[in-house]
Structure 1
């Protein structure tokens, strides 16, 4: 079965953030994995667009009731009618997640992943501390290539 790698990130992005999302999505597809995301705009759209441009498959775990709400780069839209609570379902569907930038929704997804023991790779995203020390369960990446390579390594090791 193909690996499932999730991309977490904000609904709105700067042009630079969007380019980073494209690169992450491309790398996921190039690795032969399936990209999972929230299926809407911003980082979700960027990652899905990057994956599709590289011939990859994309799945969007949607907050509403209509699969047509998914962005045009989503192959399979899964409507949940769960709103923000769909974040747990998204994370549970993944073998690893890559958080790229992000707001509070991304932070909640990181927390779900840590709780569910789904590997988390952070790329210009939240820093989470426990007892005033950075949480070592969040693997910090320096680039899109590094983030996807770390995800693959953590899943397969």
Structure 2
């Protein structure tokens, strides 16, 4: 299964979030699920990428050019999908997965959650959206 994870790129959040994100990443790798995420090397994004990668799982990063040019792309990508902007990234994150899991995040994560939920309500897809209450 391909699991898109929406989450924070912030380093300054509760350490419990990092621990639980790492556990999720290990579980994904152990169960042979691919990670699809925003591709940055910061916060929970990099934490889950490292956990999946270190566990032998496949990590797919959908990375906007601005993130890549800024040197903020994760080192744990097995597949790198470049995009021109955040809208393209969000569309690919939703289109390429079987299920979406949302972890703690900021404004970008909220935007992604509402977009996937709204598009499901309208009938564009029937994917599950899981809000992981850490």
Alignment TM class, shorter chain as reference: 0.7 to 0.9
**Higher RCO by CA contacts (8 Å cutoff, separation 6 or greater):** 2
Aligned twin of 1:118 = 127
Deviations 1:113-145 (A, max 9, x none): 221432111113xxxxxxxxxxxxxxxxx6xxx
CA RMSD of the aligned region, Å? 2.0
Q: CA deviation at 1:38?
A: 0.3
Q: Does 1:83 align with 2:81?
A: no
Aligned twin of 2:77 = 74
User: After the TM superposition, which parts of structure 1 deviate over 4 Å for at least 4 consecutive aligned residues?
Assistant: 65-69
Q: Size of the alignment, in residue pairs?
A: 123
- Check conservation: 1:91, 1:112, Cα contact below 8 A: no
For structure 2, the residue ranges without an aligned partner over 5 or more in a row are 121-125
Paired residue secondary structure (1:43) = helix
Q: CA deviation at 1:109?
A: 1.3
The equivalences for 1:1-157 within 5 A come to 3-13=1-11, 14=13, 15-40=15-40, 41-64=42-65, 66=68, 69-114=72-117, 115-116=119-120, 117-124=126-133
TM-score (norm 1): 0.70
For structure 1, the residue ranges without an aligned partner over 5 or more in a row are 125-141, 143-157
Measured in 2, the distance between the counterparts of 1:69 and 1:106 equals: 17
Q: CA deviation at 1:61?
A: 0.4
Q: CA deviation at 1:5?
A: 0.4
Deviations 1:9-44 (A, max 9, x none): 111142221222111111111111111100102111
